[in-house]
Structure 1
């Protein structure tokens, strides 16, 4: 594809993105993302599988 045709294609796509309006279902997005409670803000699901490096260093000393 020549540079002129490639540039025209990119220009077409850029105009579509700039001027077309897309409808967003914010309710579905909010359900998908969810709002974790304060207690569940950070849960390390891998914590039980690995030992802490700090504990290893204390045992060696």
Structure 2
């Protein structure tokens, strides 16, 4: 017992995914899948790099 609410939620999500139109940027997806990410500049560093252990 108790599956009714969960199943209703899954059905709602499935219908939403099936019938809603999505704007998909396929070129961005292709770049991500092929590993062509934007490389950070040499002088850019993340905010936590100062706290990283230096070996």
Range of TM-score over shorter length: 0.3 to 0.5
RCO comparison, higher one (Cα < 8 Å, 6+): 2
Structure exhibiting the larger radius of gyration computed from Cα positions: 1
With the length of structure 1 as denominator, give the TM-score of the two structures. 0.42
